[in-house]
Amino acid sequence: DVKVTQSSRYLVKRTGEKVFLECVQDMDHENMFWYRQDPGLGLRLIYFSYDVKMKEKGDIPEGYSVSREKKERFSLILESASTNQTSMYLCASSPYGGGVEQFFGPGTRLTVL
């Protein structure tokens, strides 16, 4: 059973703070993803990683960075949080290749005050 876990379910931060969101998967998946979910906008890809230390920008990378130092862990970093980054953040992982299922974490609801 694939398990994707995220460090927090709920997080409240202040404008300007540096925020770290952590994601861990236990299935040795090569691909990992960070999405942002907002009502009516679906899931929008922030960053994608296909291997350790490798990353690609998604559709909305501005204001975010990522780190993948180990295969099982993918971190999303908000360098200076802003109120427009208040959202639900979902991590996902999948095996190598295209056209394969993505397994999602439970999500982190981030509120920036």
Partner 1 sequence: GENVEQHPSTLSVQEGDSAVIKCTYSDSASNYFPWYKQELGKRPQLIIDIRSNVGEKKDQRIAVTLNKTAKHFSLHITETQPEDSAVYFCAAKRRGAGNMLTFGGGTRLMVKP
Among 1, 40, 69, 84, binds partner 1 (CB under 8 A): 40
The distance between the two most distant Cα atoms of the chain, rounded to a whole number of Å, is 39
Nearest-CA neighbor of 34 among 97, 111, 102? Answer: 102
Among 13, 22, 43, 73, binds partner 1 (CB under 8 A): 43
What is the distance between the alpha carbons of residues 96 and 21, in angstroms, rounded to a whole number? 23
Do 77 and 65 form a contact (C-beta atoms < 8 A)? yes
Token pair belonging to 106: 């439970």
Give the total of residues touching partner 1 (CB under 8 A).
27
Site residues for partner 1, 48-107, by CB under 8 A, read 48, 50, 56, 58-59, 90, 94, 97-102, 104-107
Residues that bind partner 1 (CB under 8 A): 4, 31, 33, 35, 40-45, 48, 50, 56, 58-59, 90, 94, 97-102, 104-107
